[in-house]
Structure 1
Amino acid sequence: MAAISEVLHYREDRIALLVYLGLLMTEAHAQLSQLNGQLHHTDLHDRFLTWARAREPAGRVTMFHVNHQPGAQIHHTDPFAVPTSDRSPVRRFRGRLAAPVTLWTASGPAGLTVSSTLVAEGEPDRLLGLIDAESDLWAAVEEAGRFAVAPLGPPHRQLADRFAGLFPSPGGLFATGDWTDTPYGPVPADAGGWAGCRLDSAREYGWSLLVEATVEQVELGDDIAPLLHHRGRYRELG
């Protein structure tokens, strides 16, 4: 079954959630069919998809929604929520720190959505970030010794989910959208700019990998509003 932390990212897009769950259901069906030989499709449908819908008294199926948008059918509680008493205080504190959403890419190509990027001015200028040590991005960065970082804006919500592994990407992560090739990695053509970085070092830091790099090149585009990550959701200024 899908991890709760992954499903939470779809609270603002039920259609994307059902597409994601449908892909997981298909994969599960193929794997279980190899093991058992026979499997009732309706059982998987109930396990993967039925819970994502809510039934009205008249029997009409409607989407579950937790964002209180006009016209949406609202439950009084979030079925995905972990009880407050079971949540890590540090994780809850971190969630209250709004962070810019960025895309890191490297030749290969490979990419990863990162919401823990920090730039330190100096001689030389430096960039730091926390990434997944088991990601394809880190393997590509380690091999190339360089990578690109681009800040994302509100129009990049789906792109951010795609590179976070939370949205289907038929044909590959870079199959859709317009991209600009750079010596450090491809970047979205409509990003507000990008920084080319040379890898200096990396070490385990908590459950992540702390990457330290030198900023070698900066290209600035149009000044776009930032996409922020706060308390498990994307946010916009204002």
Structure 2
Amino acid sequence: MTIHGDHPFLPPESERSPVRRFRGRLPSPVSLWTTQYAGKRAGLTVSSILVADGEPGAVVGLIDPDSDLWETLRQAKTAVVSLLDDRHRQFADAFGYVAPAPGGPFKLADWTDTEWGPAPVGVTTWAGCRLVTEDPAEVGWSLQVQLEIAHVELTAEERPSLAHRRGRYYPV
């Protein structure tokens, strides 16, 4: 077995999307969206995210329409949006399905069940949210999912938040 520094699934430069490469040059927050319906848990790392203040506040994210998260979120109509920090790099990769997670990514941490879905123990900032519409607009290859913020959990920030830029994580 050979270990190398290149990403094993990275297509050759000539085959990469210029729009995706443009987006990749923007720093993006790393969040984890989790939900649960009828005993089935689903989660996905989401970096295409916007938080809007207001009454009520909102979270907008671009979600893969074929993801387990979207299928389960449509049924549950609630989700937890957690902001990950520097400790959660492996966690982010596992829920982004780019790193192995024997037994599934939910086995990597302990969870607190909330009325909005599972919240990872040890994450200091998260929001409990409700799905605004079951039929969101398509944006590129994603769905533009809007959640209404019903609850925000903030604790003392011990570590920098995690950002993603050009395939790498950075504390900010």
TM value normalised by structure 1: 0.64
Task: Give the distance between the partners of 2:62 and 2:5, measured in 1 at CA.
Answer: 31
1:185-204 to 2 correspondences below 5 Å? 185-201=117-133, 202-204=136-138
- 1:157 corresponds in structure 2 to 89
CA contact (8 A) 2:91 2:108 kept: no
Identity of aligned residues (%): 49
- 1:225 corresponds in structure 2 to 160
- 1:65 corresponds in structure 2 to 5
Task: Give the distance between the partners of 1:64 and 1:138, measured in 2 at CA.
Answer: 34
**Which of these residues, 58, 62, 70, is aligned with residue 130 of structure 1?**
62
The answer to whether 1:103 aligns with 2:32 is yes
Task: Give the distance between the partners of 1:89 and 1:166, measured in 2 at CA.
Answer: 21
Task: Give the distance between the partners of 2:97 and 2:4, measured in 1 at CA.
Answer: 22
Gaps of 5+ in 2: none
Q: Comparing both structures, which one devotes a greater share of its residues to strand?
A: 2
SS of alignment partner, residue 191 of structure 1: coil
- What code does the residue aligned with 1:129 have? G
Task: Give the distance between the partners of 1:222 and 1:184, measured in 2 at CA.
Answer: 22
Q: Relative contact order (C-alpha < 8 Å, sep 6+): which is higher?
A: 2
- 2:50 corresponds in structure 1 to 118
Question: How many residue pairs are counted as aligned between the two chains?
Answer: 165
Question: CA shift at 1:172, angstroms?
Answer: 2.4
SS of alignment partner, residue 194 of structure 1: strand
- 1:234 corresponds in structure 2 to 169
Output the aligned Cα RMSD.
Answer: 2.0
Question: CA shift at 1:131, angstroms?
Answer: 0.8
Q: CA deviation digits over 1:31-75, x for unaligned, max 9?
A: xxxxxxxxxxxxxxxxxx5xxx2xxxxxxxxx4336xxxxxxxxx
Task: Give the distance between the partners of 1:95 and 1:176, measured in 2 at CA.
Answer: 27
Structure 1 residues 90, 100: CA separation in 2 closer, same or farther (over 3 Å shift)? same
CA contact (8 A) 2:130 2:147 kept: yes
- 1:41 corresponds in structure 2 to none
- 1:143 corresponds in structure 2 to 75
Structure 1 residues 200, 133: CA separation in 2 closer, same or farther (over 3 Å shift)? same
Task: Give the distance between the partners of 2:76 and 2:5, measured in 1 at CA.
Answer: 43
**Which of these residues, 94, 98, 102, is aligned with residue 170 of structure 1?**
102
Question: CA shift at 1:124, angstroms?
Answer: 1.5
Task: Give the distance between the partners of 1:117 and 1:222, measured in 2 at CA.
Answer: 22
The answer to whether 1:82 aligns with 2:16 is no
**Which of these residues, 109, 112, 116, is aligned with residue 184 of structure 1?**
116
